[in-house]
Chains A and B, each alone.
Chain A
Amino acid sequence: MAQRAAKDYRGSIKPIWCPGCGHYGILSAIYQGFSNLNLNPSEVVVVSGIGCSGRLPGYLRTYGFHGVHGRALPLATGVKIANPKLTVLVAGGDGDSYSIGAGHIPHAARRNADLTYIVMNNGVYSLTKGQHSPTSSPQLLSKQTQLRPLQDALNPIAFAVACDVSFVARGYSHARNELADLIIQAIQHKGFALIDVLSPCPTFNRVQTSDFYRNNIVPIASNHDAADKFQAFIWANETGKIPVGIFYKVRKPTLQERLEERRIQSGREEMSMRNLFEKFY
């Protein structure tokens, strides 16, 4: 099969995102990552929740599922269980992923299904017009109320590391090549990978802007040992600058491997419906 180009993954629908939206950069990085891995679009499923971010699957030529708000992870887990050969990418906004859907992250980590979760983190609820999200800056005045957040911001990287997500990274939507590289590594990683992608929303977030990120992002030191959970926590809790790169990466059994082991242990070879009926005589 000839190498597929980034444009071969572009869907027929034109994105409705605002000009300058960080989500464009994420979409391009996904095209680039898929192209680099030469994935067959018919064997890729992109699952999303609701938000500006949730529209992502429609802009790809792969299979997709645009589900309800906050449930992309379990939906994607079902897809992967049903057909482990598929490459399954999950996308959600910071509200979708860290607020309404946050309860699924620890369990996705415990299952360790082979999924790549891209959190399109713009620090605000955009589709619903500018309310605070779990990652809003304490300085963010909400567009509608002109109030600052009442609740502290969540540290999604520290949360993911604490949950033992087996691959934890942070990227930036405008650093497209680096992001594409993270996406490639996340897809290649066997297990659940979470990439928190800083994605400016020029319409509703005047604090976490591209200027802000340009001045504050630093790569994680190249000698960081991603297998070291303690070091990962230290990087996750960096307060000055915002580190990007891979914080934590461990290999543990994937859900597919666990399920396959169950099937083997169950002695499926001898099983027939008749055998099962026998048990009820």
Chain B
Amino acid sequence: MPKTDFVVRIGGDTAKDPGIITTGEIITHAAAQSGLHIYTFKTFPAEIKGGQALFQVRIADYILLSQGDAVDVLVVFSREAYELNAPDLAEDAILIYDSGNFQPEPVTNRIDYGVPLAEIAQNQVGSLLSKNIVAIGVLTAILGIPREVMAKTIGEQFGARGRAIVETNLKALDAGIDYVNQNKIKPADYIFQPITPLPKLVLDGNEAVSLGAIVAGMKVFAGYPITPASDILHFMQRELPKFGGDALQTEDEISAISLAIGASFAGKKSMTATSGPGFSLMVESINLAAMAEIPLVIVDVQRGGASTGMPTKMAQGDLNIALYGVHNESPRIVIGLTSVEDSFYGIIRAFNLAEIYQTPVVVLSDQYLAPRKATINEPDLEEIEIIDRMIPSKEQLKNYRRYKITASGISPMAIPGIENGAYIAEGIEHNEMSAPAYTPQIHAEMTRKRFKKLETLTSSIYVDEFVRRYGHEYPEIGIIGWGSSEGVIREAVSKAEIKGGKVAALHPKLLNPLPVKHIMEFVRPLRRIIVPEANYTGQFAALLRDRCGINPIQLNKDVGLPFTPGEILAKIEEVAETL
């Protein structure tokens, strides 16, 4: 049977084999333009120039939930890349290698095609640099991708760099295709069948966050460069001014978040985006926003390791700082983004909640989600609810109390410029009139008022949108995950179900306030609970123990790489043995 779901990977040294990432992107776009679903995964070398990188894309004619387990087609230009990537190959994989460079030892069942990629590029195309496009030609022929689809994608990719460059690359594409045809290399038994494409956006996680923020009405963005969050800053600098907004690169993260808080105080929805080290610098100001009750969205694109750690690797290591990174206590909302599509809608929800509850919202993405591409249907803007903060009515302005104690904890927020609304946004404990005051009674009342907002959220209609459940109806084993591992877990669960396992998964996207009621309902019938997370100590498992009184089995992976469905499935099977 032909495969309709397969993984293509290009691996190499970014200095010696330039264009690794571009090659992957071209294949990705060709698949997306054909209406197929894609799920990409990349790793970057830590070096600025040089070092091994890979770009992989899983392609299928149904919605994809993970990067997959094994690689079906591997393209490598050198022995080093071959040796690094060979362990990930499926048993019946196709290997395309530069035969002018090295000769791999054959492996049973594996299909090896040696193509003198560099030689063809040099001699037939006249540009050694185009060897990756020759490889694309080879892939085009082997995978049965229509030439015109690939040619169009290449035209788009290089169009901005002039006709001559496009021509050279098309020549390289054809050279690759011709080589396969002339040498009668058998096409793979894969189906790359363009389906009548619904128009789809091809976005990565950072782009989805950025687009969502603009749709949500964000007008001020401030950030400081940091991998892997910088792309949000770049996006905003390019696009936000077109929407009447402003984006700034500040002198540091403290300045970035302060600027965002000031802008929000003055009436504009604002956001900052960073990664762990920058987030660490922001915690004092997050506390200020909570105390002064300023709506604010902070995106933390988590990366690997403590301190400077592993900037180009993935981890889910910032849950604790997102939840607890503050001195004393103050209310904040924490959201874990789960997919590219969810990054778009999740950031809009984050803005809505920040506006409703006038408190900071921390949004967790990560290095696995942020750079990976996926196709999503174009959002229907009419259908998206955008909520703005409550401002005081004429009546309320007569004797205006900015921090008025209310049943919901939410008090109308005046904006500078509004007559009779003048007040001081206060980081010092204060009374309803925003005057500094520390009596035991005032501190108790105001603390209750601020935290009341989280209770109001917990009992609101919004919580249901944040919890997803899938899998068996009467499960014995349950998986509770958070953040970007949703798709991988979901795929593992369906594989386990196919094998007859009674397994289900719950994925809360709201991490504070935690939807405890939903979690308790989910765990009630379970005999075992597994919590997979990409960190060392099990931060989410600890949260669940603390808030829900359950004791899950931890599955921790802290190596800088995401889970694969196979790893989760193996754990499910291992736990099933103990039932």
Contact = CB atoms under 8 A, between A and B. Distances in A.
A229 interface: no
Given A63-B423, A66-B428, A280-B207, A74 B416 contact: no
Given A66-B426, A268-B244, A78 B211 contact: no
Contacts, number: 176
A81 B259 contact: yes
B427 A67 contact: yes
A42 B422 contact: yes
- Interface of B: prevailing SS: mixed
B338 to A, nearest CB: 20
Nearest to B258: A74
Given A45-B416, A67-B258, A71-B285, A82 B211 contact: no
A64 B423 CA distance: 6
Nearest to B416: A63
B246 A259 contact: yes
B268 interface: yes
A262 B436 CA distance: 40
A86 B416 contact: yes
Interface string A67-103: 1100101111111111101100000000000000001
Nearest to B200: A281
A280 B203 contact: yes
B424 interface: yes
A55 B246 CA distance: 30
Interface in A42-56: 42-45, 47, 50, 55
B435 A65 contact: no
Contacts of A2: none
Interface in B423-447: 423-428, 433-436
B252 A58 contact: no
A271 interface: yes
Given A78-B261, A82-B263, A83-B266, A66 B424 contact: yes
B435 A58 contact: yes
Contacts of B255: 71, 73-74, 77, 104, 107
Contacts of A150: none
Nearest to B266: A82
B400 to A, nearest CB: 11
B239 interface: yes
Contact of B254 (A42, A74, A81): A74
A83 B416 contact: yes
B415 to A, nearest CB: 8
A6 B379 CA distance: 54
A75 B259 contact: yes
A273 B214 contact: yes
B459 interface: no
Interface string A15-34: 00000000000000000000
A63 B250 CA distance: 25
Category for how many chain B residues contact A: 35 or more
B341 to A, nearest CB: 13
Nearest to B420: A42
Contacts of B246: 81, 259, 262-263
B416 A281 contact: no
B178 interface: no
A47 B252 contact: no
Interface in B399-435: 414, 416-428, 433-435
Contacts of B261: 67, 75, 78
B292 interface: yes
B219 interface: yes
A62 interface: yes
A29 to B, nearest CB: 20
B424 A276 contact: no
A77 B265 contact: no
Interface string A256-275: 00010011011110010110
B199 interface: yes
Contacts of A44: 416
Contacts of B239: 266, 276
Interface in B278-301: 284-285, 287-288, 292
A88 to B, nearest CB: 9
A253 to B, nearest CB: 15
A61 interface: yes
A75 B426 CA distance: 13
B574 interface: no
Contact of A65 (B203, B265, B284): B265
Nearest to B260: A78
Nearest to B32: A281
B251 interface: yes
B202 A268 contact: no
A281 B202 contact: yes
A78 B214 contact: no
A265 B237 CA distance: 12
A262 B241 contact: yes
Given A71-B258, A268-B241, A64 B425 contact: yes
A202 interface: no
A55 B311 CA distance: 41
B241 A79 contact: no
A276 B211 contact: yes
A67 B258 CA distance: 9
Given A65-B292, A78-B266, A281 B417 contact: no
A240 B273 CA distance: 49
Nearest to A56: B424
A149 interface: no
A68 B435 contact: no
Contacts of A266: 238-239, 241-242
Contacts of B262: 47, 65, 74-82
B1 interface: no
A189 B169 CA distance: 56
Contact of B220 (A41, A42, A73, A82): A82
A184 to B, nearest CB: 21
Given A55-B436, A63-B416, 9 more contacts: A61-B422, A64-B424, A77-B255, A78-B270, A82-B265, A259-B246, A277-B201, A280-B203, A281-B199
Interface of A: 12-13, 41-45, 47, 50, 55, 57-58, 61-68, 71, 73-83, 85-86, 103-104, 106-107, 111, 259, 262-263, 265-268, 271, 273-274, 276-277, 280-281
28 contacts: A42-B418, A44-B416, A58-B436, A64-B422, A64-B425, A65-B262, A66-B424, A66-B425, A67-B258, A71-B258, A75-B258, A77-B255, A78-B264, A79-B266, A81-B248, A82-B220, A82-B264, A82-B266, A86-B416, A259-B246, A262-B241, A263-B241, A263-B244, A266-B238, A267-B242, A276-B211, A280-B211, A281-B199
* Interchain residue pairs A-B with the least CB separation, the first 7: A78-B262, A82-B266, A74-B258, A78-B263, A271-B242, A78-B259, A64-B424
